[in-house]
Amino acid sequence: MRAQPAAFSECLELFSHAEEEEAYSRYLDLLLSVWSDGSALPGAPRAAEDAAEKIRQAPDGRRGHLALLLGLLTETGEPGLRRRVRAGLHHYLALLDTLRDEVPLGTALVYLLAHFPEDADRILPTARKAPLDPDDLARLERCLASFDPESPGIGRSWPSPARWVLSHAERDQERRWLATLGHEAKTAFWEKDTRTLLAYMGAKAACAVATGRVESEAPAEVDPVLLPDRAAAEMPQFNGHLDLMHCPACRGRLSRRATGVVCRDCAVGYPARQGYLDLSGEAVGTGDQIAGNSPLYLSWYEPLLRPAFLRVNGTNWNGAVSVADEDRYLAEHVRPVDGPLLDLGAGTGRWTQVLTRILGGERVVAFDLAATMAARLTKVVPDSLVVRGSGGGIPFADGSLGAVNCWNTVQSIDQPFATVREVGRCLGKGGTFTMLTYRKSHDPLYRYFQRQHEECLGVAAFDQKEMNEALDSAEMDVVDEYTPGTFLIVTAVRR
């Protein structure tokens, strides 16, 4: 626990003259003297005035810290405090006008200025001439824009509006979706999008002031997901796994029939659709939107959204974990015992393909709740059984699975620890459970932006000790933990 910081003026003096290696620690003392977890503390109004007046005189490399602080104070929502920060707008624009290659300052100014849409006419001419990252500029323009219910562009601004270049088919899909929304729903989407963009901008600025740099946001190169020429069969390939499965309703045994499977005990039938077995018991379309956003999120997940989640939730702004690192981790740690491997929350199938290359498609079961993803998986891994269902009730018998993989998924599940218990129940003794998820940042500033994303996008971060206790309760022993940034990459073995 950090000690109670001194008065703001004293902290500002110590921060301004701190050696480079202790500058960020002094900055946190400065910030926490007037701000705590999104709320302003006594003394914040005077501090806002001081920071706004002194930001241009701050030493090189320290002005971005003050801009980020001013943005955080503005975001507390206190009108009087907001007015005091806004009074320094001419200082912020002067800094933007003379900006060169000071990355922390550029990212922090964008975050700060995005809170003042009423000043868009003053801000944007200067911003468009400044040497800003194109994604930073696109986010700033979007946050300063006025809401137009006839052309809102909602559900596709995060992580950067500049990245969402839609095809004609996607625009048609978007128009159909927007037609189902009323004015109130569109307004709520617009406001949530703005809040999520601010959280992304703030997280990027927080990383920049802490490390002095952030890498390009160009999506990392990902191996292409190749589709087979032939269409997926209507009936799934069970590959001998049907005897290991049970009815989600009563846990009875399942028998194959012409249109899918039926429970031998309760006689509930489950259909086969587009080559996958649907054990969800839910309508098609359920689970097909990420965090309630536009259905386009699913098709844009792998090339755009997943890298952004890794940057924000894993603090992966500088590429500590690459796609190749993820592939290598699975190759080195997945060790099945007898039985199939379940790829839980398989999504687009990018890592399901890796697992089929390691084990063969016949041994892999791809599992996801989204019908769109399940249909895609039948083409991505055509030799594997694809099942649609909920992670809260994995439809496999006790101890029947040789291994389970849950890669960048458990943090988006409604009851993650219930899913961990289900994994332990289904996993055979000695089988591995590999998981990529996220842990809560120990940095109170970065944790604030993590939590903003959690509230807007439903992507949780876990206490590492709590997750380890959940694994232990599910009869699994952690044998490897890899925790760069705020990643939590784990291998556990069923006792």
- Helix then strand then coil, % of the chain, to nearest 5: 50, 15, 35
Q: Look at residue 3 in the predicted model and tell me its pLDDT.
A: 46
Q: Tell me the backbone φ, ψ of residue 462, rounded to 5 degrees.
A: -110, 150
Query: What pLDDT is attached to residue 221?
Result: 54
107-134, pLDDT tens digit by residue?
A: 999 999 999 999 999 999 999 999 999 9
**Environment class of 359 (CB within 10 Å of its CB; exposed 0-12, middle 13-18, buried 19+):** middle
Residues 407 and 290 placed together within one structural domain of the fold: yes
User: Is the same domain home to 166 and 18?
Assistant: yes
In this prediction, residue 289 carries a pLDDT of 59
In the block, residue with structure tokens 């602080």 = 69
User: To the nearest whole number, what is the mean pLDDT of the chain?
Assistant: 92
Could you tell me if residue 237 is inside a domain?
no
pTM here?
A: 0.93
Mind listing the pLDDT tens digit for each residue in 71-104? 999 999 999 999 999 999 999 999 999 999 889 9
Residue 60 confidence class, pLDDT cut points 50, 70, 90: confident
CA–CA separation, 269 and 254 (whole Å): 9
Per-residue pLDDT of 238-282, as tens digits, reads: 999 999 999 999 999 999 998 999 999 999 999 999 899 999 988
Structural domain includes residue 435: yes
In this structure, the answer to whether residues 86 and 198 fall within a common structural domain is yes
Q: Do 152 and 75 share a structural domain?
A: yes
Q: Are 438 and 418 in contact (CB under 8 A)?
A: no
Looking at the predicted structure, is the pLDDT value of residue 222 above 70? no
DSSP string of 257-325, one letter each residue:
ETTEEEETTT--EEEEETTEEE-S-S-TTTT-SGGG--THHHHTIIIIIHHHHHHHHTT-TT-SS-HHH
DSSP H or E run through 199: helix 183-211
Residue range of the domain that includes 392: 242-494
CA–CA separation, 412 and 244 (whole Å) = 27
Evaluate whether residue 2 is within a structural domain: no
Same domain, 249 and 325: yes
The pLDDT of residue 287 is: 60
- Residues forming a β-bridge with 401: 427
Cα–Cα dist 252/264, whole Å = 6
Rounded to whole angstroms, the Cα distance separating 137 from 212 reads 20
Domain assignment present for 224: no
Distances from the Cα of 341 to the Cα of 42, 179, 256, 410, 436, angstroms:
55, 41, 21, 17, 16
